[in-house]
Amino acid sequence: MNDFSLFASPWWVNLLVTVPFIAYYFWRRRGGLDIAKQTLLVTAIFAVAFGFVEAAVVIHLRAAVGFLPGYHGTLSDVARLSSSAGQVNSLNNLPQSLFVVEFFREIATMVMLACVALLAVPERREPRPFGGAPKGRGAAIFLWTFALWDIFYYAWLYVLIRWPQSLTTPDVLFLVPVPWYAQVWFPILVSFLTLIAVLLATRKTGKNLQ
């Protein structure tokens, strides 16, 4: 087990922990979020499935660079032999060609999540002050989907190959514009706080989570 590390790198990645609090403050000042239960449910299902896709891509990438022992056998073999394989090692040994593909794949991932958020917001003729949606609903759905996708990405990886070994396992969170490094607990914490912020702000409307 790795020693606990409080900070992510680069330094500005640590500011992500403020996003749920800032977003909740914004949403509450505007009377809460008017998001239907069905919208939250459908985007949650998408996020869980997308988390599996992301986990599968990472597993394939580790196999491609030789950091997934046992992948010629069963998933049990992979889980037994490769639980110590890490994203940081995979990135350090990633050929330049694959690094470029990964860089743009992550940008494409954010575009996909943003498109889902925009499609989930009904069109209304009213001012759209934040995130391209009334009262910040588009931004809220983006953050909601992103948070669930991130949590289930790690959950699926653990189910499939028993990684990460613990919440203090180091990971590469993102590559744009430079690689982001942190222990696994950090993105999971930010994601859980984000889910709580969306749910609390939605309850403020008194309509949709009854």
Instruction: Using alpha carbons, select from 61, 50, 53 the residue that is nearest to residue 86.
Output: 61
Q: What is the 3-state composition of the chain as percent helix, strand, coil, each rounded to the nearest 5?
A: 65, 5, 30
pLDDT at 52: 97
What is the structure's pLDDT at 126?
A: 47
- Please state, in angstroms and rounded to a whole number, the distance separating the CA atoms of residues 6 and 13: 12
pLDDT at 53: 96
Quick one: CA torsion of 107, 113, 118, 120, rounded to 10 degrees? 170
Query: What φ, ψ does residue 162 adopt, rounded to 5°?
Result: 55, 40
- Residue-wise DSSP of 92-110: HT--HHHHHHHHHHHHHHH
Q: pTM of the predicted model, to two decimals?
A: 0.86
d(CA 172, CA 145): 20
The Cα–Cα gap between 208 and 137 comes to 13
Mean pLDDT for back-to-back runs of 10 residues, the chain (210 residues): 88 97 93 91 97 93 78 77 60 80 94 94 53 69 97 95 90 92 97 97 59
Q: Which helix (H) or strand (E) holds 29?
A: helix 19-29
> Are the C-beta atoms of residues 43 and 146 closer than 8 Å to each other?
no
Q: What is the pLDDT of residue 133?
A: 43
